[in-house]
A and B are shown apart, each in its own frame.
Chain A
């Protein structure tokens, strides 16, 4: 008797990328909400960190009067560095915590509300790896754009707020290289956290029996 069962082919990345991108585009409203949640969390991190970068850049160039004003506003350098006092460390930790919780939660929700779709994909012959790849790609797109938007927002706001407090010297001593560094970190952080939030529920969903995934409420 002839051969009965063969092995499913693995979908080329090109197709997976296309499907993931379309899925984001069509669900634009939902994906923008997720991305904004991500961006806000990252904005807080970028705001805190870029503030210290500007103060560190300003401090050596500032005249004693300005240095007094900075200290009077409650900023405390340790040695000559801002951002390493216990209070600052606590703030940085807090900003990271907000980002982790916000992003992981947003991605978790985004996957669980799509269990039925995952079940359908599997009925049509999707491999588990396809399901995981779709979500990983979507999370990476969202992480990157959310990180970029959040990073830019955070840096802009902290520049404006310090500029309002200390005036021109903030702008003339603005450290572009460090800001770029912070922006890159913000993007990377957003991508990593976004993946972290998506990977567990995506793995669980991908491994479910299709019948079980299909039963879940939409």
Chain B
């Protein structure tokens, strides 16, 4: 382990132990998509600090840039300008091996469309990130089954995604996102393709992860129910942060909505 250690250090001194540090920080992030003569400014200068262990929701109308922001935070795409720091490491400075390590170990991804590997069973999907992490077969099988049990699907381990309901597929995706005990779970409209009750179950599961394991949950969503469990909500509109609300204030503004 020690031999593989990377020389990258945090670029800023950390605060005292009492203060949770910023697990993600974005400075002046923009993203421009060019398609022929068409230029879309999906993000127009995002500044955002996300604290370790918080449950953060990203709300905003369709096309406001939530998924684009999700991809920036998750190091799944490169910003046009600006910087993304994960644990105060500048993502743009990482090479391919370090990026893969980051995606494998540090971040778990959950998508609206589940994105399970269709030709693999539930257990194969869940254990894939562990195989990439270099675990032995005994280790990853044990942990994979444990993770499936956590999401209530231990008995379905041998089923293909096509043999599971939408809610069950999303549970498998959550079990997979937790494969290597990531510090961050990133979710892009995790309840978007699910009915109300199933969506609620998924939200409860994410909240449980946040409170019991201290995982930082970052979730883009349209789902108002997501607000109840969030510590903070970022509202984005037209590629910019419109407002940022803490939990206490949230109650009031939801009251206004209702």
Residues of A at the B interface (CB closer than 8 Å) are 1, 3-9, 11, 15, 22-23, 26-27, 116-117, 119-128, 130, 209-212, 214
**A residues near B40, Cβ cutoff 8 Å:** none
Chain B residues with Cβ below 8 Å from A125 are 100-101, 103-105, 129, 132-133, 180
The 8 Å CB contact of B96, one of A6, A119, A128, A211, is: A128
Smallest CB–CB gap between A20 and chain B, Å? 11
Residues of B106-123 whose CB lies within 8 A of A: 106, 109, 111, 115-120
| A126:B89 contact, CB within 8 angstroms | no
Residues on A with beta carbons closer than 8 Å to the beta carbon of B5: 3, 6
| Docked-complex contact B119 and A22, CB < 8 angstroms | yes
List A contacts of B120 (CB < 8 A).
22, 26
CB of B78 closer than 8 Å to a CB of A:
yes
Number of A-B residue pairs with CB-CB distance less than 8 Å in the complex they form: 109
Question: Which B residues lie within 8 Å of A126 (CB)?
Answer: 100, 132
Indicate if B49 sits at the interface (CB-CB under 8 A): no
In the assembled complex, how far is the CB of residue A26 from the closest CB belonging to chain B, in whole angstroms? 4
Docked complex Cα distance between A209 and B128 (Å): 19
The CA of A27 and the CA of B160, in the complex, are separated in Å by: 13
B254 interface residue, CB < 8 Å from A? no
Q: Which of B78, B101, B119, B179 sits near A23, CB closer than 8 Å? A: B119
Most buried by A among B100, B119, B129, B133: B100
Contacts A123-B109, A125-B101 given; does A6 touch B76 at CB 8 Å: no
B7 nearest CB across to chain A (Å) = 9
CA distance A8 to B120 in the complex (A): 23
Q: Give min CB distance, B20 to chain A, whole Å.
A: 14
- Is B143 close to A, CB under 8 A? no
Q: Are B133 and A209 in contact (CB under 8 A)?
A: no
In the complex where A22-B119, A116-B115, A209-B76 touch, is A7 in contact with B97 (Cβ < 8 A)? yes
- For the complex formed, measure the closest distance between the CB of A112 and the CB atoms of chain B, giving whole angstroms: 16
CB distance from A211 to the nearest CB of B (A): 4
Query: Contact between A117 and B118 (Cβ–Cβ < 8 Å)?
Result: yes
Contact with A along B65-100 (1 / 0, CB 8 A): 000000100101110000000111100001111101
A197 vs chain B, min Cβ distance (A): 21
- Given A7-B6, A7-B101, A124-B176, is A210 in contact with B117 using a C-beta cutoff of 8 Å? no
Q: Which of B8-16, B164-172, B205-213, B236-244 contacts A (4 or more CB under 8 A)?
A: B8-16
Q: In the bound complex, how far is the Cα of B180 from the Cα of A121, in angstroms?
A: 15
Complex Cα distance, B85 from A56, in Å, reads 71
B38 within 8 Å of A (CB atoms): no
Inter-chain contact A127/B115, CB cutoff 8 Å: no
Alpha-carbon separation in the docked complex, A212 to B213 (Å)? 31
- List B contacts of A3 (CB < 8 A): 5-6, 8
Chain A neighbourhood of B10, CB < 8 A: 1, 4
Q: Contacts A120-B117, A127-B96; is A4 near B87 (CB within 8 Å)? A: yes
| Whole-angstrom distance between the Cβ of B134 and the nearest chain A Cβ | 4
Q: Judging by beta carbons under 8 Å apart, are B4 and A6 in contact?
A: yes
Q: Given the complex of chains A and B, what is the CA–CA distance between A164 and B100 in angstroms?
A: 61
B77 close to A9 (CB less than 8 A): no
Known: A26-B119, A122-B103, A123-B103. 13 other contacts (CB 8 A): A1-B9, A1-B88, A5-B101, A6-B4, A11-B132, A11-B134, A120-B117, A123-B109, A124-B104, A125-B103, A127-B97, A130-B132, A214-B76
Interface hits, B167-200 → A, CB 8 Å: 176, 179-180
- Residues in B with CB closer than 8 Å to A117 are 117-118
Q: Which residues of chain B have C-beta atoms less than 8 A from A124's C-beta?
A: 103-104, 109, 128-129, 132, 176, 179
User: B52 at interface (Cβ–Cβ under 8 A)?
Assistant: no
Query: Could you tell me the distance between the alpha carbons of A9 and B130 in the complex, rounded to whole angstroms?
Result: 11
B102: Cβ under 8 A from any A Cβ: yes
Q: How far does the alpha carbon of A122 sit from the alpha carbon of B131 in the complex, in Å? A: 13
A–B pairs, 17, beta carbons within 8 Å: A3-B6, A4-B8, A5-B89, A6-B101, A8-B104, A22-B120, A116-B115, A120-B117, A121-B128, A122-B100, A124-B129, A125-B104, A125-B132, A125-B180, A126-B132, A209-B78, A214-B115
- A212 contacts across to B, CB distance below 8 A: 77
